[in-house]
Amino acid sequence: MTLIQHGLGPNPLAGFRVEEHKIRPIGYDLQRPECILAERDGTLWSADARGGVIRIAPDGGQTLISQRVDTHFDLIGDARQSLVSGTLPNGLAFDADGAILISNFGTDRLEIMDRSTGATRVLHDRINGRPLGKVNFVLRDSKGRLWLTISTMINPWTDAITPTIRDGYVALVDDSGIRIVAEGFAFTNEVRLDAAEEWLYVAETTGKRVTRLRVLPDGSLTDRETYGPSDLGRGVIDGICFDAYGNLWATMIFADRLVAITPEGDCLELAEFGDSKATDRFELEFASGSPVSFETLSACGGEIAPWLASVTFAGPDLRTACLGSLKGTSIPTFTSPVAGLPMVHW
């Protein structure tokens, strides 16, 4: 594979580990804060299982923005139904006018929501005449195109947490409509573009790896290859995010690990917050080739960011790392030794 080359000096992540006593939580009583968007003024937007987003102001004030509040999410009363059914806003992005694009993992559609009123409409729920599948993440590029990931066609999605299923795909939404541009992924999750938008990086959750594809001018993808290690270790990869140096940060859900793939292709361990015994059980079941049981999945996760799902850079200098999770109620943050790569809305 071809790796990123640059002359930026020593890697700022070399020897860095997240110190738990320096972690500061933002927000309270959040429901499934899986994805976080950050703005220059310090505002954070967090996906919320009540059917929209939570806006967290720089002073800490919170506002739930939703067209209709859904009350199904209850991890204590019924964790299984809470995590696999109902509205489940997942990946978020801003459109060019500031409206919020929502990949809804529960309704299986790409939605767009007015950031002030919560008014929501469906952009896409079908492709080639069939349902989209489990819509996971959306990313807008500098040309205004949307890159959409569909993890699997299996419902509930938990039945696809196995290395033997590869029915995920990436769709592109542009002036020509929506079309599949790459498929055959092992539970397609977050995607990111490098600074030059030359390559699209795809988190293959149950493949435990990142795959990248070269982006052609018309949005076609080619030169598919594994980026970094072919197996990132304990847990399975969920969210990915570039920093300004070129490191690709990644969250490993079910082990609550935070790692980074360097431009040279090495994997750096930045943090591990999970329950090691529960992760051991997950790894054993996962290796069997059968779907991991919900009971095993449910037992995974530590206290800091249970079911660690994403990382977002925030703050005026983009050095505040924010961690998203599926079972957390706040957003853990810490200071990164390197700034994040600015997103297209920045």
**341 assigned to some structural domain:** no
**8 assigned to some structural domain:** no
Express each pLDDT in 239-285 by its tens digit: 999 999 999 999 999 999 999 999 999 999 999 999 999 999 999 99
Q: Is residue 157 predicted with pLDDT exceeding 60?
A: yes
| Chain-centroid distance, C-alpha 42 | 20
**274 assigned to some structural domain:** yes
**98 assigned to some structural domain:** yes
Strands 52-56 and 62-66: antiparallel
**279 assigned to some structural domain:** yes
Give every CB contact of residue 136 below 8 A, 6+ residues apart in sequence. 90, 91, 103, 105, 149, 150, 151, 188, 189, 190
Express each pLDDT in 24-55 by its tens digit: 999 999 999 999 999 999 999 999 999 999 99
Between CA 52 and CA 45 the distance in angstroms is 10
**Tokens for 161?**
């947490």
pTM assigned to the model: 0.96
- The residue among 212, 144, 131, 135 whose CA lies nearest residue 175 is 144
Give the CA distances from residue 256 to residues 6, 164, 196, 269, 287, in Å, rounded to whole numbers and listed in that order.
30, 23, 30, 12, 18
Hey, how many other C-beta atoms are within 10 angstroms of the C-beta on 69? 12
Express each pLDDT in 115-128 by its tens digit: 999 999 999 999 99
Write the CATH number for 73: 2.120.10.30
User: Contact at 8 Å (CB) between 274 and 257?
Assistant: yes
pLDDT at 2: 39
Express each pLDDT in 172-197 by its tens digit: 999 999 999 999 999 999 999 999 99
Give the CA distances from residue 341 to residues 190, 313, 345, in Å, rounded to whole numbers and listed in that order.
16, 8, 11
Express each pLDDT in 96-152 by its tens digit: 999 999 999 999 999 999 999 999 999 999 999 999 999 999 999 999 999 999 999
- The residue among 241, 248, 271 whose CA lies nearest residue 346 is 241
**178 assigned to some structural domain:** yes
Give every CB contact of residue 133 below 8 A, 6+ residues apart in sequence. 108, 150, 151, 152, 153, 167, 168, 169
**2 assigned to some structural domain:** no
**Tokens for 179?**
């079309």
Domain of 54, in residue numbers: 27-335
- Domain count of the chain? 1
Strands 236-242 and 221-227: unpaired
Provide long-range contacts, Cβ within 8 A and 24+ apart, for 73-82.
73/31, 73/32, 73/49, 75/327, 79/298, 80/294, 80/298, 82/49
Q: Is residue 4 predicted with pLDDT exceeding 90?
A: no
**16 assigned to some structural domain:** no
- The residue among 294, 251, 292 whose CA lies nearest residue 274 is 251
